[in-house]
Amino acid sequence: MLAQQLINGLSLGAVYALVAVAFTVSIGVLNFLNFSIPALFMISGMVSLGLMKSGFPWMLAVALGIATSIVASLVVERFTFKWMTKSGHLVPLVSSLAFLILFENLAIICFGSDLLPFPRLFGGGDGRLGGVVIGLPQILSLLIAVAAVALLAYVLKATALGRSVRAISESPQTATILGVQTGRIVLSVYALAGLLAGLAGILFAVNYAQVSWVMGEEVGLKGISAMILGGMGNIWGAVIGGLLIGLLEVLTIAYVSSDAVNLIVYGTLILVLVLKPTGLFGDRLAARERF
């Protein structure tokens, strides 16, 4: 029973982890809490379902769904970060929230406001290991999430693009002086947020076999919590934070009650913020300089 809950918690946590990494990259590089990420999460699930219904093979539909999330994220960039230099630091926050409302209501218009069933892409792939049911989607989402983050960590650490991104996150002015093309790098950070959120949306849709226009909100809030728990700007911290919150949520539902989930998850979060504001794995000095 406990082993089963751990598996469920980890696979839910993998989705939170991807969303948390999307948030943490935005905040670490751009110093901006991008509230359109929950919408990007929803877009990939909804669009790929729509494409599958109109006869596209599932692989193509999923790829196009994620591509739509990326394009949507680039649209958000056009109206948020582009204007940030000459405005107050809260303006992009307002605009990104407006995009959340915009995308969610567009989804209602296109797909209706009901909960829609999402096909089980790996149907019948449940394995058993000593009485514990392990769904193929569950294992896959955990693996895909970890692989995606590992790839991201490699890109940030070892490539020219990664060096530019890290330079901008240290100091945009200095990076510009040294010849980093800030505009292009910012675009790629938004594209990355779209990719991660879109991927997470697909994994969630496959795991829970359902999508709806509102699916991004709850996951988005848990993703933000995971980011704080792990320490802002730290991608592996966000992954661990996501897995911890997934476990905490599933264990609370199993052993306390489903009504107590938010109380326990967000209560833990406040405790962490009051006792150690930089999160479990945050670097205090870096955080103070950057924020």
Partner 1 sequence: MSGYVETLLVLLMINIIAAYAAYLPLAVGQLNLSIAGFMAIGAYGSAWLAASYGLPLWASIPLGMTFAGLIGLAVAVPVLRTDGIYLSLATFALGEVITSAIINTPALGGAAGMPVTGYVGIIPIAITCAVLVAIMAYVNHSRAHVILTTVEKDPNVAAMFGVDVRWTKIACFSLGAALAGLSGALLGHHLNFIEAQRFSILASIYVVLYVLLGGTQTFIGPILGAAVFTLLPEALRASGEWRYVAFAALIIVVMVWRPNGLITRETILRKGA
Residue 191, interface with partner 1 (CB under 8 A)?
no
Q: To the nearest whole angstrom, how small is the minimum distance from the Cβ of residue 273 to partner 1?
A: 4
Closer to partner 1 at the Cβ: 47 or 203? 47
By CB under 8 A, name the one of 2, 87, 127, 183 that touches partner 1. 87
* List of long-range contacts for 73-76, beta carbons under 8 Å, 24+ apart: 73/36, 73/40, 73/190, 73/191, 73/193, 73/194, 73/197, 74/187, 74/190, 74/191, 74/194, 75/99, 76/34, 76/36, 76/190
Residue 286, interface with partner 1 (CB under 8 A)?
no
Closer to partner 1 at the Cβ: 57 or 183? 183
Residues 196-235 that bind partner 1 (CB under 8 A): 217, 221, 224-225, 228, 232
Closer to partner 1 at the Cβ: 125 or 277? 277
Q: To the nearest whole angstrom, how small is the minimum distance from the Cβ of residue 112 to partner 1?
A: 10
Q: To the nearest whole angstrom, how small is the minimum distance from the Cβ of residue 150 to partner 1?
A: 26
Closer to partner 1 at the Cβ: 86 or 128? 86
Whether 251 and 9 have beta carbons less than 8 Å apart is answered as yes
**Burial class of 80 by CB neighbour count within 10 A (0 to 12, 13 to 18, 19+):** buried
Residue 253, interface with partner 1 (CB under 8 A)?
no
HSE of 282, CA atoms in CB hemisphere, 13 A: 27
Residue 260, interface with partner 1 (CB under 8 A)?
yes
Q: How far apart are CA 200 and CA 40, in angstroms?
A: 10
Helix 182-208, helix 136-158: angle, nearest 10: 170
Number of residues lying near partner 1 (CB under 8 A): 45
Closer to partner 1 at the Cβ: 12 or 206? 12
Closer to partner 1 at the Cβ: 58 or 266? 266
By CB under 8 A, name the one of 2, 3, 60, 101 that touches partner 1. 101
Residues 6+ apart with CB under 8 A from 241: 16, 17, 20, 225, 226, 227, 228, 229, 230, 231, 279, 280
Whether 161 and 171 have beta carbons less than 8 Å apart is answered as no
Residue 88, interface with partner 1 (CB under 8 A)?
yes
Residue 291, interface with partner 1 (CB under 8 A)?
yes
Q: How far apart are CA 172 and CA 168, in angstroms?
A: 4
Neighbours of 60 (CB within 10 A): 12
Name the site residues for partner 1 (rule: CB under 8 A).
Answer: 27, 31, 33, 35, 79, 83, 86-88, 90-91, 93-95, 97-99, 101-102, 105-106, 108-109, 217, 221, 224-225, 228, 232, 257, 259-263, 265-267, 269-270, 273-274, 277-278, 291
